[in-house]
Structure 1
Amino acid sequence: MKKLVLIVVPVVLIGVYFLYQGKGDSDSIKLPTGYWSVEQSSAVLERSAEIILSPDLSALKAQEREAVRELMLAGIIFNDLYELSRHPQALSARDELNKLHKELGEPVETANLLNLYYQFKGPIATNLENERVAFLPVEPEQAGGNVYPWGVDKEALEKYLSGNPDLRRSIMHLRSVVRKVTPTNLTEDIAKLNNNLLLDSLHPGLKDRLLKIQSEHPNEGYYGLPYSVHYMNEIMQIHKHLNNAADWMENEDREFAGYLRQRSFDLLRDDYEAGDASWVTGRFNQLNGQIGSYETYDDTLFGVKSYFSLNVLLRNKEASEKLASGLRNLQAVHDALPYQFPRRINENLSLGVYDVIADFGQSRGANTATILPNEAEQSRKYGRTIMLRHNIMTNPVLFANAQARFAAAVEPEFAADLSMDGQFQRTLWHEVGHYLGVDETESGGDLDAALEEVADHFEEMKADLVSLFTAKELLEKEELGAETFKQIQAGGILRVLRTNKPRRDQAYGTMQLMQFNYLLENEVISFDPEMEKIHIDYEKFPAVVASMLEEVLGIQASGKKNEAKAMIERWGYWDSELHQVLANNMKAASRFQYRRVRFTELENLEKELGSD
């Protein structure tokens, strides 16, 4: 495999220059009930890194810059929809906070809260103890958020689905909200279809079903409503911005323009196949973007609802082509996995290295890479696309913090084993790992539908383990050097080191803890209570990875949720005299616990809009 030379682009860590600056002496200010105090907000912000992404856009032509602007305008709307889909009071609470901020003279108390709102993408924060708590006067967070009736009882909804199996597909659709049957809701939703003949025609039979419910039992049960209908006004605005962007790109990159037009139409139908086919098979020039609702991590109720995101990406052509040339014969990689799941791997895997221009909704943050689409059928037809975020992956501040955590946890002889290149390679093969192995149950069922709220736990764990397993295969084929292999393994250890006990609804945190304990019990790692450090036995690593991967793939193939939950219980334990000791040491050594990512191009646009 060809080695990609990583060029580190300095990105500033801002310690005190937050997005929102407080003014003046605020000792006398007391905020209304429900708002965090300045002491509470400062405790979190002091443990937060602020990263500003400012990629060089000088190579973009004027038409491309206009397209970027239109995409960011669409992204701003998507961001609001994302926040609203997580909490019904998010946008109103944000507006009230902005109003209070201005009324009080923009003091540090409210400036801090505005920074927290941006950082946590809503009014609920993850505090230093990894608890989800409100920092604004809103209701406590509910599982599943606002894409289900707020606070819905899961058992009641499951019982309703069992008694009405014909409604399951629409209610549990990836891109529908679950509505409670009430006269008000039905009247409102039927009116939307009456007022938008285009949406009515794109969802044949929907209005008739709603009218039938209205006439027969208007006060009981649930129904599914497509995102495009529920968020009709916002989706129509996004549709316009995407088409405007396509117009600007028509003479610069016709394939990208075609993708944008397809995706604008996908959003009206809540069916992304046409746009995904164009996206995955297209060969774009300088720009790319993830647009729409894909990931289900925020659905902690059933794990089936996707949440909106959009990002605008600048392609590094040379790095992309060099890296893509090293990804070959993925069928052989799949066939070598320790659990046999025969399927044909579509070798059409689009791979790009990008700098993030702006990011919105679910994807905003310090995420290093993404592979989409997730639907198994579409992946088999068209392949998938991997987007590696170069200006996140090579961020020196983020890597230095990772190094500090790693050095605090492992014995001194292993502290230098971590490298940026090893992390890059591990992340790349993690994303490829999503593409390989089990993609549906042995009976042909959807993995999300089968494993529900723990599906993401197992999918992310599979990808982690495939990455580590494949590294050994590449080493044996002499496509990977021994030093890089060791660095990838060190990255695998860092991956499973937790600074807080994870909640069960945290897919990443839980699967990381499970891997740590599996490695511990199988003696890949051992803990010295006197040194409070971990010893690593790299020789045992490959066999143990293969063993755990085989078990994970087997559970995915079976689709048995009870077995998945049993594995989580078996390996998801937390020991105060081991895990917590390591966590405390890593926290003490690291400079920050949270990351807040800002985008220069977006802030310039927001200033422009604010001055209009």
Structure 2
Amino acid sequence: MNRAAAALVLMLSTSPEAAPPSAWTENHTREILEKTQTIRLDTDLSPLSAGERAALAKLLEVGAIFQDLYEESRHPKALELRQKLDAQKTPLAEQQRTLYRLFQGPIANTLQNERMPFLAADPVVPGKNVYPWGITKAQVQAVLEKHPSLQASLLAPRTAVRRADATSLRQDLGTLERYPVIAGLHPGLSETLRALAKKPDPALLYAVPYAVAYAPRMVKAHGLLWDAASAVEAEDAEFAGYLRNRARDLLSNDYESGDASWVRGRFRRLNAQIGSYEVYDDELFGAKTFYSLSVLIRDDAATAKLEKGLQGLQALEDSLPYTPHKTVSSDIPVGVYNVVADFAQARSTNTATILPNEPLHARRYGRTILLRSNIMKNPNLFSNGRTVWEAVVAEPFRAHLGPSGGFNRTLWHEVGHYLGVDQDVKGRSVNSDALEENSSALEEMKSDLVSLYIGKQLRERGFYDDTTLRELYASGILRVLQVVRPRRDQPYQTMQLMQLNYFLDQGLLELRPDGLHIHYEKYPEVVGSLLREVLALQRAGDKPASDRFIERYTRWDEAVHGVLATRMRAQQKYRYTLVNYSALGE
């Protein structure tokens, strides 16, 4: 980060903090816990060598560091509240600990899809704790309008934004003095902070790299990754090289070396997603990434079978309804894995991942796809989805939902991130820069639609037969059903509602007294039409146009959506899923 990266100049108003609400009672917590199922991932570790097991232990320690950091970066009081809960032994405290584990912090998502503190904590704010707590988008935009050169630093994916008060500046300068290796990796930053410290003013803004903001934990994680690399080097030199590169990345705040060795590496058994990548938690600008770590074991047989089906990607890219098309590699690093443990932003029932997101890194090295087999094939998760499906789909269509549909839709959804528009006409990334907080919803919808759009071509190639193609299409319908009205800050649910409305408008779906009817003959045309609109929006990079598009297709009609949601809620046994991991002793 250069000197401008830490600068800032604009008076920002501050507002008094309201008193935090009271903690929930047992009745409040029980309402959610009764709708929560627990699944346990008991991944077989027997294929691992002694060195791999030693590396795994170190990676799990890094995961615990990232877990703390994730909770703190979403709420400033999270770790303090968790510590207090751990010291309490009452039945209510036990319930609250479960809620904390489920929601990874003191903010619950209620059955009514409202976010509320269940402990005595401040309500959630859009910028979480990676911006000054409670700052508004208008305040940050005012800075950027007066000082446009600051956008690269204040909205960088891995910087924490501060107010230039004496305490913050003193802490950051102290960090750079205590960790000279970090100071050396960020030349000019100390000088900039010293200049600001001469006249501290809490109305000013500056930004520091995550490596500085979280220096003690990054240094600790660096050492653990180095230890993990040493443990596994004799039998998996490429994985060890990746771990060392990623260890350095955590201090430099530049992920290129780690991304290159991760994406292009050919690892033996273990794989690990390590770092700060996804922007979903930043509801202010959709710019800031949050930490995650996943440790996985490769399923060689399933991966080999999958790789054979991923040939000819350029033809699929060229078939998409947009121009100009780009050149894509057919050598996509893809693997089927069993999850050993997830931490922080990755801790959920997430079925797959494609990273990195930075367009430059993706262009240079590609992106790796990690399919999480023991999540995707979990029978309890599939059963819960079938219950929702059968509640609203008319009887002639109920048997169309099958296990292959979700797997294949997820696979080609991830490939869909690799295809299509990646930069707008101004060269800005479609993942965050161009459409700000709308970027995630539109990118996820694009990938959903690509997975369905190319289904017909894959049928012609023999990847699908008639049954598995229909299961893909059925999974695409299940994907968009909403049991509650989405909030605008929920990118996945927002784009799913948009697809549902478009499918209803275009006659792909029809609501009759006996339930939803699916007009499969309209599937390719309707999906292609919506995909064309999404790709055009991404290419144009027109934020106001994307606002209007989202507003148009996020309508909620109680006579339609409300009726469907009521039916699904009446039949759905579980709304939430808590994942436990045997590797963590859970």
- Could you state the TM-score of these two structures normalised by the residue count of structure 2? 0.95
Taking structure 1 as reference, are residues 469 and 357 closer, same or farther at Cα in structure 2, changes over 3 Å only?
Answer: same
Does the Cα contact within 8 Å between 2:136 and 2:284 map onto a contact in 1?
A: no
Deviation at 1:215, TM superposition (A): 3.1
Identify the residue that residue 57 of structure 1 maps to in structure 2: 45
Deviation at 1:599, TM superposition (A): 0.3
Q: For 1:537-557, what per-residue CA distance to the aligned partner results, in whole angstroms no more than 9, with x for missing partners?
A: 000011000000000000000
Residue among 330, 342, 365 paired with 1:347:
330
Aligned equivalents of 1:183, 1:341: Cα separation in 2: 51
1:81 alignment partner AA: L
Does the Cα contact within 8 Å between 2:166 and 2:200 map onto a contact in 1?
A: no
The DSSP-based 3-state class of the residue aligned with 1:578 is helix
Identify the residue that residue 579 of structure 1 maps to in structure 2: 561
Aligned 1:441-590 pairs, distance under 5 A: 441-447=424-430, 448-528=432-512, 530-531=513-514, 533-590=515-572
Aligned 1:206-217 pairs, distance under 5 A: 206-215=189-198
Identify the residue that residue 5 of structure 2 maps to in structure 1: none
Identify the residue that residue 23 of structure 1 maps to in structure 2: none
2:346 alignment partner AA: S
- After the TM superposition, which of the residue ranges 289-298 and 575-584 deviates more from structure 2? 575-584
Aligned 1:120-199 pairs, distance under 5 A: 120-199=103-182
- CA-based RMSD of the aligned residues comes to 1.2
The answer for unaligned runs of 5 or more in structure 1 is: 1-31, 605-612
Deviation at 1:446, TM superposition (A): 2.1
Deviation at 1:33, TM superposition (A): 7.5
Deviation at 1:217, TM superposition (A): 6.0
Does the Cα contact within 8 Å between 2:165 and 2:200 map onto a contact in 1?
A: no
Identify the residue that residue 296 of structure 2 maps to in structure 1: 313
The answer for unaligned runs of 5 or more in structure 2 is: 1-19
Identify the residue that residue 56 of structure 2 maps to in structure 1: 68
Deviation at 1:346, TM superposition (A): 2.8
Identify the residue that residue 93 of structure 1 maps to in structure 2: 81
The DSSP-based 3-state class of the residue aligned with 1:145 is coil
Q: For 1:468-502, what per-residue CA distance to the aligned partner results, in whole angstroms no more than 9, with x for missing partners?
A: 00112212333321111111000000000011100
Aligned equivalents of 2:575, 2:191: Cα separation in 1: 51
Does the Cα contact within 8 Å between 2:481 and 2:500 map onto a contact in 1?
A: yes
Aligned 1:93-112 pairs, distance under 5 A: 93-99=81-87, 101=88, 106-112=89-95
Deviation at 1:161, TM superposition (A): 1.4
Aligned equivalents of 1:127, 1:156: Cα separation in 2: 30
The DSSP-based 3-state class of the residue aligned with 2:489 is coil
Aligned equivalents of 2:139, 2:324: Cα separation in 1: 36
Aligned equivalents of 1:386, 1:156: Cα separation in 2: 38
Aligned equivalents of 2:457, 2:331: Cα separation in 1: 21
Aligned equivalents of 1:33, 1:363: Cα separation in 2: 29
Deviation at 1:577, TM superposition (A): 1.3
Q: Does 2:50 align with 1:80?
A: no
Q: Does 2:242 align with 1:254?
A: no
1:301 alignment partner AA: L
Aligned equivalents of 1:48, 1:219: Cα separation in 2: 43
Residue among 571, 577, 581 paired with 1:599:
581
1:573 alignment partner AA: R
1:483 alignment partner AA: T
Q: For 1:175-222, what per-residue CA distance to the aligned partner results, in whole angstroms no more than 9, with x for missing partners?
A: 001111112111111111111110001011111221222236644321
Aligned equivalents of 1:478, 1:262: Cα separation in 2: 40
The DSSP-based 3-state class of the residue aligned with 1:582 is helix
The DSSP-based 3-state class of the residue aligned with 1:311 is strand
Q: Does 2:99 align with 1:116?
A: yes
Taking structure 1 as reference, are residues 160 and 580 closer, same or farther at Cα in structure 2, changes over 3 Å only?
Answer: same
1:601 alignment partner AA: A
- Could you state the TM-score of these two structures normalised by the residue count of structure 1? 0.91
Q: Does 2:346 align with 1:384?
A: no
Aligned equivalents of 1:109, 1:308: Cα separation in 2: 30
Aligned equivalents of 1:273, 1:143: Cα separation in 2: 29
Q: For 1:377-403, what per-residue CA distance to the aligned partner results, in whole angstroms no more than 9, with x for missing partners?
A: 111110110000000000000001111
Aligned equivalents of 2:124, 2:520: Cα separation in 1: 42
- Percent of pairs identical after alignment? 46
Aligned equivalents of 2:58, 2:461: Cα separation in 1: 46
Aligned equivalents of 1:151, 1:220: Cα separation in 2: 13
Identify the residue that residue 7 of structure 2 maps to in structure 1: none
The DSSP-based 3-state class of the residue aligned with 1:294 is strand
Q: For 1:391-431, what per-residue CA distance to the aligned partner results, in whole angstroms no more than 9, with x for missing partners?
A: 00000000011111111110011111011111101110000
